A and B are shown apart, each in its own frame.
With several copies, the nearest count.
Chain A
């Protein structure tokens, strides 16, 4: 199937038709393993239909189209619940970073299976002692001839349990300041010495993992970009992350979304209460202003101005919208927000969403970090006097760990 010569309008039609025919109607109640199979089958189909990697270079398996086609696909996709979450990290971050920095061999080896959903990727940056301050990480990759040996612990790794590959950031030189001694690696998650443990978060679920590295050997060609230039690679990847977090389309079934809360208010019989109406209107305004901002960023990107640090605005605003929604939900559902009948699935989902809300202000860089980025990179305000930027990593105190 080829799309060459199609107009955007035709392309949109093709997308719609394919999605209508191929999106699984419901994945409720499937076990994680079954869900993964559904996802892989769907992604393979999407790829084979020429609808994966829209703007990615054709040479490595992408479609080589423009942002206009991507936008058309995103618009259509927003009307469906796509089972593509296992590929989010790979498609949103690792893949684009490989395209930016990878060797031709790395691209040839990894991009096509990634796009077709055959190989799943995860991102291995955060550590218990290195959250906002990722550059202070302690996982160590030591040279062993041409190869590397990795030891250390990563945390908050989404999808590590089903990942085939990870983008690992590790310290390769502790004798230089923290930003200068890091390297990014491709790590085969099935290697000996890699242990993945689920990490239970405050919602009670375990969508994240801790990943332990115990003398894990990596070949020389596992390096992404340059040795000791891992920080630049990480910045590249985190730039992709912020856009993909802030720009993600709100699902219609989101329990904290405006649409869901209006429906809830109607069902509870309080939608005509002026206070509830006012709060819902305010929530709509916040949600819609953010989505219009995201559209504007996309249009500017399509016109040649990449969003850069402005992705931080979307990330920050997204968190604010969620916190507002938590308040609105309490107004709408009252005491039923916090205690509900066993068979009230919607109330249960709402509660889980409320419990997950703090993640919006933490994951992918805290609100404080986003504000620093906006203030410094966009507005050009001076950095804080940095006390650790020029000190060899070996001499720094990091996290809450006491050094001997």
Chain B
């Protein structure tokens, strides 16, 4: 296994970090978040440039479909950088979930049609799995696809759909008379109502999608296998985002601890603060190691991926939230203000921790894969 980035991967990281520092500074993130700069919840201009200038959206898309044919390790490098600065772009929805679903399906026509447009950033895709009261892990039961008058239509409700409100198309996991299947719905299909949810995290939009006899196109593939494959890869990409956020809050906290003076000393000289930072560093180092391993298995040892992905999630998710909570608290009053960025990470961390299911569901999933 390879847990250290190679030269090229390090250069990719440097390039992305530089680009985001220039084009996705905190002020820009806040402008998008407040809706003062854009109205559709994401930075469309930046997204276009990430797709076309940097080729980051189609990173794992094969070259024949307009992508770079790179690996998950590379995609995780990008996700880490986006997570570091909380860039509000539909990377998780479009460059991860939608791309991975299409790649995992056996539907050559859909791949040929949609992957190039995802890679170019012309289309944003979303993936709908969870339903109200459930989670991504409990998977679809209530949404049904059926043939009516010669076409497939969808009925039911999906929720927590990442970027579901802005996606030009949605890949939906649903029940058919013969089992489960995947279906393609246009974002503006008749009978599809999209309702943005209220979210803890102001930088990531999630939506509820109601389908009422919505015309859809069936997609070829082993539905359950696709769901499993996509979930594992998405968990790894999310873990990368989380690790990026952890690295950033550790920096923020350490920097502040070096300049803030109370009782005549910089607060970083107090063991309470110093040891808090040290614990955060230890957590980051271990989280990063679990992530690197999971990303490596996605490229080089897919038999180990299910275990490695579940491991990464159990290691990273609570650690990120703990790091952000400590960040707010170690900053004291200033960290509790809206004006300081600490809370954006806190909210992102809590959201990432629970996005696909509760901590206990994650642990049980890991236990399953350990054969316990």
Please report A residues at the B interface, Cβ cutoff 8 Å: 126, 128, 131-133, 136, 155-156, 199-202, 204, 262, 265, 268-269, 271-278, 280-282, 284-286, 288-290, 292-293, 295-296, 299-300, 303, 310, 313, 316-317, 323, 327, 330-331, 334-342, 344, 347-348, 351, 354-355, 357-359, 361-363, 366-368, 370-372, 374-376, 378-389, 391, 396-400
Contact = CB atoms under 8 A, between A and B. Distances in A.
A284 B367 CA distance: 9
A337 B321 CA distance: 14
A316 B355 CA distance: 30
A274 B3 CA distance: 32
Contacts of B11: none
Which of A310, A339, A361 has its CB near the most chain B CB atoms (within 10 A)?
Answer: A339
B214 interface: no
B61 interface: no
B361 interface: yes
A371 B350 CA distance: 26
Contact of A338 (B133, B263, B328, B355): B355
B198 A341 contact: yes
Contact of A303 (B4, B366, B367): B4
A382 B332 contact: no
A374 B250 CA distance: 13
Measured as residues with beta carbon below 8 angstroms from the partner, the interface class of chain B is 35 or more
B277 A379 contact: yes
B270 A368 contact: yes
11 contacts: A201-B337, A284-B366, A293-B285, A295-B1, A296-B4, A335-B130, A341-B195, A348-B198, A362-B329, A374-B278, A397-B261
Contacts of A296: 3-4, 288-289, 292
Contacts of B159: 335, 339
B108 interface: no
Which of B160, B325, B358, B363 has its CB near the most chain A CB atoms (within 10 A)?
Answer: B358
Which of A348, A357, A359, A372 has its CB near the most chain B CB atoms (within 10 A)?
Answer: A372
B53 to A, nearest CB: 31
B358 A331 contact: yes
Contacts of A278: 360, 363-364, 367
B286 interface: yes
B200 A354 contact: yes
Contact of B272 (A341, A354, A368): A368
B4 A277 contact: no
B281 A295 contact: no
- The 4 tightest CB contacts between A and B, nearest first, are A388-B264, A202-B343, A375-B274, A381-B268
A331 B360 contact: yes
Contacts of B353: 330
Given A285-B366, A375-B268, A355 B343 contact: yes
Interface string B111-154: 00000000000000000001001011000000000000000000
B311 interface: yes
Contacts of B360: 273-276, 278, 331
Given A271-B372, A303-B4, A398 B261 contact: yes
Contacts of A128: 333-334
Contact of B336 (A265, A344, A358, A376): A358
Contact of A131 (B135, B332, B367): B332
Given A331-B359, A371-B279, A375-B278, A277 B264 contact: no
Contacts of A381: 254, 257-258, 266, 268-269, 273-274, 277
Contacts of B266: 381-382
Nearest to B260: A400
A199 B278 CA distance: 31
Contacts of B201: 338
A358 B286 contact: no
A367 B277 CA distance: 14
A247 to B, nearest CB: 13
Contacts of A276: 360
Contacts of A383: 269
> By DSSP majority rule, is chain A's interface helix, strand, loop, or mixed?
helix
Contact of A285 (B206, B314, B347): B314
Which of B159, B264, B338 has its CB near the most chain A CB atoms (within 10 A)?
Answer: B264
Contact of A366 (B254, B289, B329): B329
Given A202-B346, A281-B363, A337 B1 contact: no
A384 B271 contact: yes
B315 interface: yes
B356 interface: yes
A226 to B, nearest CB: 24
Contacts of B334: 128
B208 interface: yes
B319 to A, nearest CB: 9
Nearest to B2: A299
A334 B282 CA distance: 27
B3 A295 contact: yes
B367 A281 contact: yes
A404 B292 CA distance: 47
A268 B336 contact: no
A338 B366 contact: no
B4 A262 contact: no
A199 B337 contact: yes
A334 B199 CA distance: 13
Given A338-B351, A368-B273, A381-B273, 6 more contacts: A200-B339, A330-B353, A334-B135, A334-B354, A337-B350, A376-B274
B363 A282 contact: yes
A269 B359 contact: no
Contacts of B208: 341
Contacts of B364: 274, 277-278, 281
B105 to A, nearest CB: 25
Nearest to A332: B358
B267 to A, nearest CB: 8
A341 to B, nearest CB: 6
Contacts of B4: 296, 299-300, 303
Contacts of A286: 315
B333 A131 contact: yes
Contact of A339 (B160, B269, B337, B361): B160
Given A281-B370, A296-B3, A335-B355, A310 B259 contact: no
B333 A136 contact: no
Contacts of A331: 358-360
A69 B206 CA distance: 50
Contacts of A354: 200, 350
B216 interface: no
Contacts of B246: none
Nearest to A315: B282
A380 B355 CA distance: 35
Contacts of A396: 264
A126 B259 CA distance: 19
A197 to B, nearest CB: 12
B372 A359 contact: no
